[in-house]
Structure 1
Amino acid sequence: MSNAALVPTYDFEKAAVALRQGNQDLGQLLAELATIPAPKQQGSTAVAVMERLGESLMEAVTRLPVVFGRVKPPKVRRSLNKTELTKLALERNAIDTAIKALNERKAEIAEMVSQHFDVVAENTGLAKPGETLRDKKGHYLISSPGSREEAPLDGSGQFFTRERTSDRADFSESKLKKLYEDGTISRADYLACTEPVKGRQISEAKLRAMLVSPKRRDRAAKILRLISDVKRGTNSINLRGSAS
């Protein structure tokens, strides 16, 4: 699932306090303390996918057993004859078609299960329509690393999960350089948050030091707002066993 860059509002005071207390990753910390608008949602594609899948999936699944494994590996090293090559081509085409159709069906299953998790989240108060952040497919971003959503399956020891990768704020060196070249920030500011490595590159250590300093925090905040892109972690649907 795609996450476009979003314009964030940061709580730099909390960031400074957290940085004083430990050696946290600056990009992850800022993402955790960022408030960003929800991206525009795309409509669900479940119905369209179902209609497209039905015929091609059944055709692929029906054809595959007929052509599968008809040509056995030669017992001695030799060239293949024309009949063998033709049969292998038919089998390969059937396999490719089946894989494509099955992958699409797998994605459709993930979409249906994610909708299930959305409804459960609304019913239990974990998500509120119009307020809780969603991804571009319209699914809630409420799970986090170490805290996943689960849907147990009766009697199987398995369960569906919805898991999400960490949020992250990435810092753009090209944006920072353009700010300096345009005169938006001074040379002193540019040098204050970069270090020389075959030219200059952003230094997280220097940015951390600027944020912790009461005198330099406002300058750091201005620069970080202009060069950072917050990308929310992405959801994934998994089928796990009891030990997963």
Structure 2
Amino acid sequence: MSALNALAAAFRLQVALTRRSPGHLMILLTTPLFSVIFLSLVTHGQRPGLLVNAVLAPGLIGVWLMSLDLAASIIEEDRLGGRTELLVASLTPMSLVVFGRISVIALAGALTFVESWLVAVVGFGADIPIDRPLVFVLAVLATCFAMAGTATLLAAIFIVSRARHVFQNALTYPFYILGGVLVPVALLPGWLEPLSRVVFLSWSADLLRGSMSGDLPDPWPAWIAATVGLGAAALAGGVLLINRMVDRSRETASVTNA
């Protein structure tokens, strides 16, 4: 099976699993609440210039939480569902299956941007135009790819972790800060900027804000390339780790407890 066919099959599998058990989509129910909180702070603080930040933050948080949730549970779900043995025995790389399945959730997470925008427009009567819609769509797609690639790497790390939920909880607020999800990286202390630029969210968040306000970073294609590049690097690391774990499972014949 080619890589594209494997990704397509994994994509269809996750769509079917999500339709039967939509637990990973629960964040779609809580994103409007995040939007209300952020928009209330900005509105009552009389900071209309921060409306774009308040709209984008819940969307970025939602995509990250959905992808992180699946990354932390995908291998365990496959074990309980009896799919792990079949995947290890097949010729299809498990890493591609993991990436394909997480991609479904990352793309579904893009709906959180729509939810947040609707809360701002309908609930608060805010005027939130998207000055550069094409750039905005490209930035969302780049963000979803980088999110899926990063989550694939985290899924590999979670496999060998004995404290999966501890790591999962630790990968929320630090990433929101370093990624400039609500507060732009430029406003953070200078010593944090090198760390922030390793987090793909710091590139995509600034690009999304610029595409809505019209104040795009120059040259903006480089920011998309940075987002995609960091996601691809994380994906490469995840593929390498998962493939090595699968090879070890085959050698030791300990698939279920690997």
Short-chain TM bin: under 0.3
Higher helix share: 2
> TM-score if structure 2 supplies the norm length?
0.25
Q: Which has the larger radius of gyration?
A: 1
More contact order relative to length (CA 8 Å, sep ≥ 6): 1
